[in-house]
Amino acid sequence: MSEQLRSFFGCGLDDDRTFDLNDYGDSIPRWCVGCGDHGVLSAVKRMMRDQRLLPERTVFVSGIGCSSRFPHYLDTYGFHGIHGRALPIATGVKLSRPDLDVFVVTGDGDCCSIGAGHWLHATRYNIDMTVLLLDNAIYGLTKNQTSPTTPEGFETNTQPHGTYLPALNPLSTALGVTNASFVAQTADWVPAHLLATLKAAYEHVGFSFVRILQRCPKFSAPVFSEQARTPDLHELLFHSDGITVPSLDKIYKHRLEHDPSDLDRARSLAEDTERTRLGIFFKDATRPCYNAIRHLPTYTAAQNIERLNRELDRYAV
Amino acid sequence: MSPSSAATVTRIATDSGPGSAPKNVLHLDEHTLEIVSDSGEGAQKCGQIFASVSAKMNYGVWTVEIIPAEIEPPARTAAGASGNLIRFGRDKVTNWGDETNLVVAFNEQVLLARHRLDALSDDCIILIESKWAEDPDAEIRQEWQDAMEEISDRNYRVIPVPMEEQCLTRVDNPRKGKNMFALGLLAQIYGYDVEKISEQIRAQFAKKPPEVSKANVDLLELGVHWAQENLDLRIEVPRIETDEKRVVMNGNQAAALGAIASGMEFCAMYPITPATSVSQYLCDVFERYGGTMHQAEDEIAAAGAAIGASYAGKVALTVTSGPGLALKTEFIALAVMTEIPLVVLDVQRGGPSTGLPTKVEQSDLLAALFSQPGDAPRVVMAPATIEECFHSMVTARRIAKSFRCVVIVLTDANLASGQQQFQRPVLDERWHAAPANHRAVTSGERPYDWDPDTGLSRRIVPGQPGGMHTVTGLNHDHDSNVDYTPEINQLGCAMRSRKLAVLQQTMSPPPIHGDESGELLVVGWGSTKGAIEEAVDRVRAEGHAVSSTHLTFLSPMQPGLGEIFSRFEHVMTVELNYSDDPAAPYITPENRRLGQLAFLLRAQTLVDVDCWTRVPGQPLRPGHIADALRRKLSAASETEVRVNE
Ligand SMILES: Cc1ncc(C[n+]2csc(CCOP(=O)(O)OP(=O)(O)O)c2C)c(N)n1
Ligand code: SF4
Ligand SMILES: [Mg+2]
């Protein structure tokens, strides 16, 4: 939640506690060695520390998958739900408790397959929350089945002769949804970029959708291994209103200035997958947020009873 | 035209000579009337107003909507019959009775629909729009004649009324006003206070310009006047004055108001007949009470959002009907597993699949109890009256909250749209949950601090410092840590199940209608209560030792059932769901599929519970139930004779 909203809801601001990384959790995750999820977890904790998020007012909601184990490794509130359905749960949390900072962690199967309907609608609701799509291009937890983002031809246990269809593009999908307000991409192997992206996503008021390219050395290693080793296969999107990570300039030669308010260009950049582009594709803080539109005053039980009695009068015999 | 039908019509037409004062007034304790039209001609509105006024006059009232299956069915077809049935009387009315005594029909095809359903009494009085008999279209004239022929085997008293012709003297489009003219006819026949009805009309059209009310009241008065001049027909039903404060509404309104009264703060839904009107009502008014109504993208998301809201500290509701309940199953299991309070209102309709979307059935009972993966104990309750639709929402919320559990409330299409008056609820602040308290969690307090005896524990919700934990649908220990060990899985299952036993111990046995022991006990649940009790009363009046009992809670079941059953020689359920006819080919006692409650009761009590169930897509008739009870009694005595021999 932005400082502005915090002051609106009167929470957190008077709280000058600072936290260290361990305050957000110090348990050892059960992901495979080399799994990209580890790096995402570290970056998330760092971002929370930097932004001074209050652990008791932060909720991580997830579905089912390796990636969805995420909340268990944090000392915030967490809701490890069911496969594909993190977004509806998060919707209910944020609608009823606007004072909470809500994050969703989801996988490519969780978000883009079984939960795809919710993904589309949550994007349109534009509820203020940060959504991390940990995209390893495979079903990890269930061990190596094709997901919607598995590259065409890639052999998996369910499509052993090679994945039949071209992969779904989560960025252009998100950018195609009416009322999308924040779409970004980053990768687990570029920690500085990951952190900067998480910060920007958190600060954005609205539905901040971040696709994080995530290595799964266990099942989809070939999908990202060359990329992760080769900075030249990337292109960093930078802009004064987007993210700039000067420390990366030396290694990442390909850089492109992109104004995140330009939706048409965002769409064409997302569509063109020649290069792996990292950065904010689109951002528009003026899009209507469903949670703000639906925000309601609260009344006491006595007030409600008085009102309800008046309503009952309409039915009085 | 056949001689007989010609005779019927002409004889009755002369019956009502112009201006003749009513020769004889019928005095009856109750009467059942209905008004049927093509969809869109306003018969439902007419019926609703008549019912509201009847209730306000202190008559006992029960209404049933006659709903066409399509939005815009073709005009003048049996399938398009739309309207309202009202049974009213001096005493409390608890069901729609056996048959209709008076019909106002806007054309002969909708009348035929009712005739073919055997909905009309043999001496039914029929007031029917007369214009079709002389329609310029020969085909329509033929249809009219065929219809009169078809109904001529009954002793109906058919009274043609020039409704449209009369209305045209006041308005340009009689299709829009006939219903008020018809209301005028009814007002005169039953001797209702025209001013009371006008008041009700004005209230109905309060949001429209005053001309609208006026035009409608004009037509009402026209109907009254025409009836005074032309109808030799007066029916008088006595009424008892009472000081009791009462309200009149339908079951969906009652459930919506009950949800508000219970202090519920969040409701997520996806539109589905016949639950939609609960949601629409809440969409209109819930915000005034600080309640959020969320129309989700589907039923799954609606359940998810409700669970999310409840997890965050509110007690939330999701409203649906059978197919929606099916979609919510995985989420319901999650709520059970994480012990997040959730109320699910299922306004049952006919199934399976899309089934009979607008019609009544009680077929979701087993789905409500069992349609989750794994063992997912939850509370299931079923209001039997419209009053109970209100109060069960209050009870459901309290149970959900204090037992950290899922409560499924099963109403049905009959309760949903039927109107009845009941004692005005006295609202109570104690019905509401205490306001959320984000106190710090003390050390040692755990998210699942199951009391080892009761399984009960106190919730920790986001915002409470020191209480951070992750709830999960995976098996978990007291700290909500994922745990796959056999002991913890056994414990978690036991704790979630134990809560139902604890709840059950707070309940009383269901009351018995009739004697405490006897030959036959009838067991029912949900909206069939009134019809069952009326049937039992009739059979008891014939000297049979029959009683009935009605279950409000289906999970856990109220205590004492086995003991109650043991006091009767036979036990049978009467339900609005499917069971195999024992006499049908291939059906044996071994393979016979039983009514859903019968199935449960046998498992619960080890008593050989029989059942009589039907799926007519309409409420059960007390007369049909009484016949079934008589058959059961005589079959039982036959077997006894055989055994004695
Ligand atoms: C309703 C349902 N269907 C299927 C599953 C099995 N399942 C669990 S996780 C998963 C896919 C996980 O893939 P992804 O979302 O990409 O997450 P990852 O493990 O790769 O992080 C599947 C199919 C389930 N848990 N629930
Ligand atoms: S299977 Fe893949 S995604 Fe899952 S923990 Fe292992 S490396 Fe990570
Ligand atoms: Mg995956």
Instruction: Report how far Cα B543 is from the mean position of its chain's Cα atoms.
Output: 31
Cβ burial of B464 (10 Å; 0-12, 13-18, 19+) is buried
The CATH topology of domain B512-644 is Rossmann fold (3.40.50)
Predicted pLDDT of residue B435: 81
Predicted pLDDT of residue B67: 86
Predicted pLDDT of residue A14: 59
> Across the strands, what pairs with A233?
none
pLDDT tens per residue across span B220-254? 999 999 999 999 999 999 998 888 999 999 999 99
Are B470 and A59 within 8 A, CB to CB? no
CB B529, CB B576: distance < 8 Å: no
* Residue type present at position A145: Q
Q: CATH 3.40.920.10: which residues of chain B?
A: 8-236
How close B637 gets to chain A, by Cα (Å)?
Answer: 48
How close A193 gets to chain B, by Cα (Å)?
Answer: 28
CB B479, CB A80: distance < 8 Å: no
Predicted pLDDT of residue B2: 37
pLDDT tens per residue across span A8-25? 454 555 578 999 999 999
Pairing of strands B419-423, A58-62: unpaired
Any idea of the CA torsion for A252, A253, A254, A256, to the nearest 10 degrees?
90
Predicted pLDDT of residue B242: 86
Are A88 and B265 within 8 A, CB to CB? no
How close B289 gets to chain A, by Cα (Å)?
Answer: 6
Residue B176 has pLDDT above 60, yes or no: yes
Q: Can you list the domains of chain A with their CATH numbers?
A: 3-289 (3.40.50.970)
Predicted pLDDT of residue B204: 86
pLDDT tens per residue across span A175-221? 999 999 999 999 999 999 999 999 999 999 999 999 999 999 999 99
Q: CATH 3.40.50.920: which residues of chain B?
A: 512-644
Q: Which of residues 251-270 of B touch A (CB under 8 A)?
A: 253, 257, 260-261, 263, 265-266, 268
Predicted pLDDT of residue B5: 39
Find the mean pLDDT for residues B390-414: 97
For ligand 1, say whether the CB of A115 is within 6 Å of any of its atoms: no
Among A32, A108, A189, the mutation site with the greatest number of ligand 2 atoms within 8 A of its Cβ is A32
Q: Which residues from chain B sit within 8 angstroms of residue A118, using beta carbons?
A: 297, 300-301, 304
B297 touches chain A (CB under 8 A): yes
Atom of ligand 2 nearest to the CA of A37: 8
Predicted pLDDT of residue B79: 87
Predicted pLDDT of residue B641: 67
pLDDT tens per residue across span B257-274? 999 999 999 999 999 999
Q: In which band, very low, low, confident or very high, does the pLDDT at B14 lie, cut at 50, 70 and 90? A: very low
Q: What does DSSP assign to residue B557?
A: B
For ligand 2, say whether the CB of A32 is within 6 Å of any of its atoms: yes
Q: CATH 3.40.50.970: which residues of chain B?
A: 247-431
| C-alpha–C-alpha distance, residues A86 and A96, integer Å | 16
* Residue type present at position A278: L
Predicted pLDDT of residue B532: 98
Of B308, B310, B429, the CB nearest to A91: B308
Q: Edge-to-edge strands of the sheet including B553-555?
A: B292-295, B266-269, B316-320, B342-348, B406-412, B379-381, B553-555
Residue B553 has pLDDT above 90, yes or no: yes
Question: A153: helix, coil or strand?
Answer: coil
For ligand 1, say whether the CB of A234 is within 6 Å of any of its atoms: no
For ligand 1, say whether the CB of A66 is within 6 Å of any of its atoms: yes
Q: Which ligand is nearest to the CA of A219?
A: 2
Provide φ and ψ at B301, rounded to 5°: -65, -35
Q: Which residues contact B52 (CB under 8 A, 6 or more apart)?
A: B200, B248, B419
Any idea of the CA torsion for B441, B444, B450, B452, to the nearest 10 degrees?
-150
Classify residue B97 as left (phi > 0), alpha (psi -120 to 50) or beta: left
Question: What CATH code would you report for B8-236?
Answer: 3.40.920.10
Q: Where are the alpha helices (DSSP H) in B57-127?
A: 108-116
Residue B70 has pLDDT above 50, yes or no: yes
CB A256, CB A235: distance < 8 Å: yes
Predicted pLDDT of residue A207: 98
Output the pTM of the full model: 0.94
pLDDT under 70 in chain A at which residues? 1-14
Are A88 and B465 within 8 A, CB to CB? no
Comparing C-alpha atoms, which of B105, B104, B98 is closest to residue B119?
B98
pLDDT tens per residue across span B424-459? 999 999 999 888 889 999 989 999 999 999 999 999
The CATH topology of domain B247-431 is Rossmann fold (3.40.50)
Centroid of ligand 3 to alpha carbon of A174 (angstroms)? 17
Of A78, A89, A120, the CB nearest to B307: A89
Question: Is omega for the bond preceding B352 within 30 degrees of 0, making it cis?
Answer: yes
Provide φ and ψ at A6, rounded to 5°: -55, -45
| C-alpha–C-alpha distance, residues A155 and A163, integer Å | 6
Q: In which band, very low, low, confident or very high, does the pLDDT at B503 lie, cut at 50, 70 and 90? A: very high
Find tokens 């009791």 and name the residue.
B244
Are A89 and B469 within 8 A, CB to CB? no
Predicted pLDDT of residue B129: 97
pLDDT tens per residue across span B603-621? 999 999 999 999 999 999 9
Find the mean pLDDT for residues B350-355: 94
Instruction: Report how far Cα B425 is from the mean position of its chain's Cα atoms.
Output: 19
Q: In which band, very low, low, confident or very high, does the pLDDT at B71 lie, cut at 50, 70 and 90? A: confident
CB B350, CB A132: distance < 8 Å: no
B482 touches chain A (CB under 8 A): yes
Are A308 and B307 within 8 A, CB to CB? no
Centroid of ligand 1 to alpha carbon of A74 (angstroms)? 21
B423 touches chain A (CB under 8 A): no
Q: Which residues from chain A sit within 8 angstroms of residue B297, using beta carbons?
A: 117-118, 120-121
Q: From B301, which residue of chain A is nearest by alpha-carbon distance?
A: A88
Task: Quote the radius of gyration of chain B (alpha carbons, Å).
Answer: 27
Burial annotation B221-254 (CB, 10 A radius, 16+ → b, else e): bbbbebbeebbebbbebeeeeeeeebbbbbbbbb
Atom of ligand 2 nearest to the CA of A217: 7
* C-beta neighbour count of B146 within 10 angstroms: 15
Percent of chain B whose pLDDT exceeds 70: 95
Half-sphere exposure of B641 (CA within 13 A, CB side): 6
Residue B1 has pLDDT above 50, yes or no: no
CB A71, CB A80: distance < 8 Å: yes
Among A28, A35, A132, the mutation site with the greatest number of ligand 2 atoms within 8 A of its Cβ is A35
Comparing C-alpha atoms, which of A185, A199, A192 is closest to residue A260?
A185
Residue B330 has pLDDT above 80, yes or no: yes
CB A79, CB A110: distance < 8 Å: no
Pairing of strands B82-89, B60-66: antiparallel
Q: Where are the alpha helices (DSSP H) in B231-360?
A: 251-261, 276-285, 299-311, 322-338
Predicted pLDDT of residue A6: 52
Predicted pLDDT of residue B434: 84
B309 touches chain A (CB under 8 A): yes
